[in-house]
């Protein structure tokens, strides 16, 4: 019998990055305080009913529970408060996503303006599924538009 060897089901997705971005008329630090908290995405994604966390910092797991009953479990891979960016990987979900890696970044554009960029690389479970990229793009665009609505100063 062959000895067991280390293995994993987690691997990075392949695909073209889907990028969403908005400019918010608000201080970059305030924008980062909203989008940079891994445990707080329900503050700007109305489809989420709640988030449950296990652990803190890099390696922490969050379970996002959606109002429709779907869920996604994600691991925080990296986070840098000074550079205002973080990355995460989906390790389980009921949304039809085989693999997903994401990054969010906030860039100051002066004292009262910031750009938020959300980059997602994802693969659908069903590779014949039509509209997967559009679904992911619409989800990210909608979330970032909510960030702008919450923080934009006239």
- Does pLDDT of 154 surpass 80? no
Give pLDDT, residue 128. Answer: 80
DSSP 12-68: ---SPPEEEEEEESS-HHHHHHHHT-GGGGGGT-TTEEEEEEESSSTT-EEEEEETT
Q: If pLDDT is split at 50, 70 and 90, which confidence band does 7 have?
A: confident
Find, among 19, 21, 35, 20, the residue nearest to 151 by Cα.
35
Domains of the chain, with CATH numbers?
18-151 (3.30.530.20)
* pLDDT value of residue 15: 87
Q: How many CB atoms lie within 10 A of CB 13?
A: 17
Share of the chain above pLDDT 90, in %: 86
The band of 1, judged by pLDDT with boundaries at 50, 70 and 90, is confident
**40 vs 1, higher pLDDT:** 40
Region of 118 (left: φ > 0; alpha: ψ -120 to 50; beta: rest) is: beta
Q: What is the helix, strand, coil percentage profile of the chain, to 5?
A: 20, 40, 40
For tokens 């990055």, name the residue.
17
How do strand 61-66 and strand 71-80 relate by DSSP bridges?
Answer: antiparallel
Average pLDDT across the chain, whole number: 95
Per-residue CA distances from 49 to 31, 68, 138 (Å): 22, 9, 19
pLDDT higher than 90, residue 127:
no
C-beta separation of 42 from 131 below 8 A: no
H/E stretch holding 90: strand 85-93
Contact at 8 Å (CB) between 92 and 72? Answer: yes
Q: Render pLDDT for 62-109 as a digit per residue (tens, 0 to 9).
A: 999 999 999 999 999 999 999 999 999 999 999 999 999 999 999 999
Predicted confidence band at 129 (pLDDT cuts at 50, 70, 90)? confident
Q: What is the mean pLDDT of residues 39-53?
A: 97
Band (pLDDT 50/70/90 cuts) for residue 8 is: confident
94, 100 in Cβ contact below 8 A? no
| pTM of this structure | 0.92
């Amino acid at each position: 019998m062959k000895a067991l060897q280390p293995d994993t089901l987690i691997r990075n997705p392949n695909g073209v990055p889907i990028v969403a971005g908005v400019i918010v008329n608000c201080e970059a630090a305030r924008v980062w305080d909203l989008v940079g908290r891994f445990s707080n995405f329900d503050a700007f994604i109305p489809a989420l009913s709640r988030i449950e966390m296990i652990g803190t910092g890099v390696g922490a797991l969050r379970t996002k529970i959606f109002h429709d009953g779907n869920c996604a479990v994600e691991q925080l891979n990296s986070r840098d408060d000074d550079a205002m960016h973080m990355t995460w990987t989906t390790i389980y979900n009921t949304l039809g996503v085989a693999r997903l890696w994401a990054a969010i970044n906030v860039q100051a554009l002066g004292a009262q303006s910031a750009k938020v960029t959300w980059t997602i690389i994802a693969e659908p479970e069903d590779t014949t599924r039509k509209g997967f990229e559009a679904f992911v793009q619409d989800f990210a665009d909608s979330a970032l538009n909510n960030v702008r609505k919450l923080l934009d100063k006239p």
